[in-house]
Structure formats: structure tokens, C-alpha cells
Amino acid sequence: MFQIDKSEFGSFIAALRRERGMTQRELAEKLSVSDKAVSKWETGVSLPDITLLPPLGEELGVTVTELLNCRRMDSGETLRPQETDELLRRAMELAPESGRGRPTLKNVLAFLLCAGACALELLLLMVPLRWRPEGDAAAMLWVTVALGAVFGAYFFLAVKRRLPGFYDENRIGYITDGFLRIHMSGVSINNTNWPHMIRAFRGWSAAALTLGPVTVYALDRLTPKDSPWRMIVFFALLLGGLFIPAYYAAIKYRNGRK
């Protein structure tokens, strides 16, 4: 069983940090983490995420290989095949779990039902009711449907249900995963509130698909076509419905409240 000795690793980086005359806070600022995270590394409580090893080594003047071996290496020193294998296993130990798992049948069916309801609703609006959205009405309709479909596909079928460990050690207010970019200023996202935020985003996606078309239809029929208030009301509903529940979940459950 290949494992990194947390105490040995912590002592090594603490010694390197002192050699370079840096405080824990200074090192933390250079790595964009909290000084509490650096303290946990040095005391052997936790290990840094694998993505932090290159910048950590650069700041401490050592290579990633030396970090994983918890010692300086002589110039020209090479690793034997067994040592290389152990090094890779140690690196894997620091790799964050993807947390993405296969979507449940319940979530797949929920997304398909929402998508089917959206298609049926559009058919009913455009055939029996002969609705032909134009101009801003057409833009509002397809923005709603497209965002509902994209967010729905991600949050029902492909979302990471568990975040990397550094989200729990630091105050991070954004999520980046492939095409997804969500920045929520003023809140800290972690593995305590993330599951509740996922439910909020799923709820918005379902509402956008199932209620979006009829909402845009109502705005188109009930408001003057040249009124700028139509777009203001539309974006207030769209963005408010997306972010207000997510902010509420992030704040309410940030410390594990039930």
C-alpha cells in the first residue's frame, strides 16, 4: 500500500517554507488558499490537492517529484521503475475524486419528462393557438428553452455531486466544470451546501422547461410589443429564479443546517 506520510510531508514543506523566509499566510496568498489550509498541511492534518503541487513546488524551490518523495534529490538522480510506480500512486492519492457518478434513473426520467413537457407545450402553443413569436418574444422563448435544456442536462445528468476537498478548506465562490461557469459573489461553496444548490438549479431547470414557454406566451400576449418592460420582467424572472434559490441554499446550508 503506497501512501504519503502526512507528517513527513508537512515537516518537509514547513522546513522549505522557513528556508525561504515565508510565513504560512504569505505562502497561502501565493497559492490562493487560506493560511489555515497551509497550517493543516504542515501539521499533517491534510494534504494539498494534486493541482496545487506544481505552484507549491515552484514557491518552495523544489520539484513535484521532490514534494511527493518528501526530500530533496541530488542533481542527476533518477528513479527506478518501482520508485516511479510508487510516485504515480502517491500522486493518485492526492487527485480529487470526480464526484460525478452515473445519473440515477429518477433524474434521467425527470429530465426527459421536463423536456417532453416543453416540446408538447410548444406544439400546443404554436398549432392550436397559432402563436408565432417574433422579435423579442422569439428571443425570450429560445433563451429560456436553451438555458433550461443546457442547465437541466448538466444538473440532472452530469453534475459533480461532490466537490474537491479544497472547496471545504477555502472560501471559494465559483464552480468551473467544462462549459459550466458559475460565480456566486459573497458566498462560500462547499460540500455541505452544494447538494442543496444542485436541487435549486434542478428546480429552476425544470421550471424553465415546463413553465418557460407559457410564461413567455403570456408576456407576449398581455404586454405591448414595443414595451421595454417585457424584457425587464423576463430577465428578472429568468435570473431571479435561477440565482435567488441557489443563493438561499448556499447561505442556509453553508454550515450544515438541515
Residue 182, helix vs strand vs coil: strand
Tell me which H or E stretch contains 177: strand 174-177
Name the helix (H) or strand (E) containing 108.
helix 105-126
Same domain for 134 and 47: no
pTM over 0.95: no
Q: What's the pLDDT score for residue 77?
A: 67
Instruction: Return the bridge partners of 181, or none.
Output: 176
Domain count within the chain: 2
Cell numbers placing 185: 459573489
Which band of pLDDT confidence, cut at 50, 70 and 90, is reported for residue 257?
Answer: very low
- pLDDT one-digit tens code per residue, 63-118: 888 888 888 887 766 666 666 656 656 665 565 555 666 789 999 999 999 999 99
DSSP structural state of residue 174 = E
**Same domain membership, residue 234 and residue 196:** yes
Return the half-sphere exposure (C-beta side, CA atoms, 13 A cut-off) of residue 182.
22
Share of the chain above pLDDT 70, in %: 86
Which domain-ending residue is among 64, 94, 124? Answer: 94
pLDDT given for residue 258 in this prediction: 43
What are φ and ψ of residue 44, in 5° steps?
80, 15
Domain range for residue 10? 6-94
- The CATH number of whichever domain residue 23 belongs to comes to 1.10.260.40
- Based on the fold, state whether residues 117 and 208 are members of the same structural domain: yes
Banded pLDDT at 1 (limits 50, 70, 90): very low
Whether 146 has a pLDDT exceeding 50, the answer reads: yes
pLDDT of 130 higher than 80? yes
- Is the separation of the CB atoms in 87 and 69 below 8 Å? yes
Whether residue 133 sits in one domain with residue 79: no
* 156 and 54 together in one domain: no
State which amino acid sits at residue 257: R
As given in the structure block, the three cell numbers for residue 56 are 507549491
pLDDT of residue 31: 85
Count helices and strands (H / E) in the chain.
12, 2
The pLDDT of residue 155 is: 95
Residues 123 and 187 in one domain: yes
Within a domain: 99 = no
Q: What is the DSSP letter of 183?
A: E
Last residue of a domain, one of 53, 74, 94: 94
Same domain, 127 and 240: yes
